[in-house]
Copies of this chain bind each other. A is one copy, B any other.
Amino acid sequence: MEIPENRLIDKIRRFADRSRDVLRGIGDDGAVIKLSQGSYVLVQDAMVEHVHFKFSFTNPYDVGKKAVYVNISDVLSMGALPLYFLVTIGITPALTSKDIGRLYHGMRQAAREFGAIMIGGDTTESKNDFFIDISMIGKLVTKTYLGRDRAKEGDLIAVTGSLGESAYGLHLLLEGKPTKGMSTFLKRYASPKPPYPVWKEIVKHDITRAMMDISDGLLIDLGRMMAESKKGAVIHLEKLPIPPLLRKKNKEVLALSGGEDYQLLFTFPKSRLKKIQGMIQQGYPISIIGEVKQGKDVTVLSQGKVYEAPEKGYEHFGNSR
């Protein structure tokens, strides 16, 4: 590490916003916060260099931003609003003091968009692999949590936003292709901001009990939700929100199997269909893509026929692309 731990902590401390419910923030063995009675969501999600990202594709500012976004995405997916977070970074010799500053800048930027406050964490050396690991606490704002285990037979399946954008952004970077006019894709890869406005609308109208974010690709993640709910699913390729460019380039598979879109996947009873259609008419980015069935498999139909996806998504950056 370029600078001693004590000085590093003084530097990091300046990135912590204040709140009167934070009785003690960075600078002690732990943070102390006041919490009211209720249900709270706790998440923890890491990003590791050479596995989830490379500094040659993503600058420290965006790494910090993304690390916060992915944790906020998990908190929102459970039906909670983020409050506080702690950050551990494992600093390799290659990282400069300025890089670390940019990293915390990115974190603070992303956190402020959702009102979350950094209250602590750990800084350590790491010999070869930089890592950032964030834990976050949020307060449930829905009546009960929105879980992967709560999809019901006959529910409709929906997703927010577009799918495959992040994976195509990464594809462009990996192939060294021209990126002019491709900022939608690159931005979704570098800085996947959770779809907050549509989340708020879904929560406000009490649309769902079963929600998760799409981090590893629609097929894998829908499969996980169905496994937890002990159900199956049928989805329709035509109904997926696939960017026209990806359809044109025959890259529809990225919408099924590309990861890191951090859009929301949720199910809802048919009794709520009118409400959802109203939201769609108002311009909220929601696509109804299929239905929950008995059984345990996820079936993709294309023009009514079973479609076999060429690959089932990826688990990590480093080994499958």
Contact = CB atoms under 8 A, between A and B. Distances in A.
Interface of A: 4-6, 23-24, 27-46, 48, 50-52, 73-75, 77-78, 80, 84, 86-88, 90, 119-122, 124-129, 131, 133, 135, 137-138, 140, 144-145, 147-149, 212-213, 224, 228, 315-316, 318-319
Contact of A88 (B29, B32, B44, B74): B44
A208 B87 CA distance: 29
Contacts of A133: 44, 46, 88, 122, 131, 133
A38 to B, nearest CB: 7
B32 A140 contact: yes
Contacts of A75: 29-30
B44 A40 contact: no
A27 B221 CA distance: 12
18 contacts: A24-B145, A24-B147, A28-B149, A29-B148, A29-B213, A30-B77, A30-B78, A32-B145, A42-B119, A44-B133, A45-B88, A45-B122, A48-B90, A48-B124, A124-B316, A126-B129, A127-B129, A135-B135
B31 A42 contact: yes
Q: Closest 9 interchain pairs by CB?
A: A135-B135, A30-B43, A128-B128, A44-B86, A29-B74, A29-B77, A133-B133, A30-B41, A32-B145
Contacts of A131: 90, 126, 131, 133
Given A135-B135, A145-B23, A127 B40 contact: no
Contact of A28 (B27, B28, B73, B148): B148
A146 to B, nearest CB: 9
A235 B129 CA distance: 40
B39 A148 contact: no
A257 to B, nearest CB: 15
Nearest to A42: B31
- Which of A28, A50, A88, A138 neighbours the largest number of chain B CB atoms within 10 Å of its CB? A28
Contact of A48 (B33, B39, B126, B224): B126
Given A28-B149, A39-B33, A90-B131, A44 B74 contact: no
B90 A28 contact: no
Contacts of A29: 43, 73-75, 77-78, 148, 212-213
A249 to B, nearest CB: 29
B35 A35 contact: yes
Nearest to A213: B29
A74 to B, nearest CB: 4
A204 B269 CA distance: 53
A131 B120 CA distance: 19
A32 B46 CA distance: 19
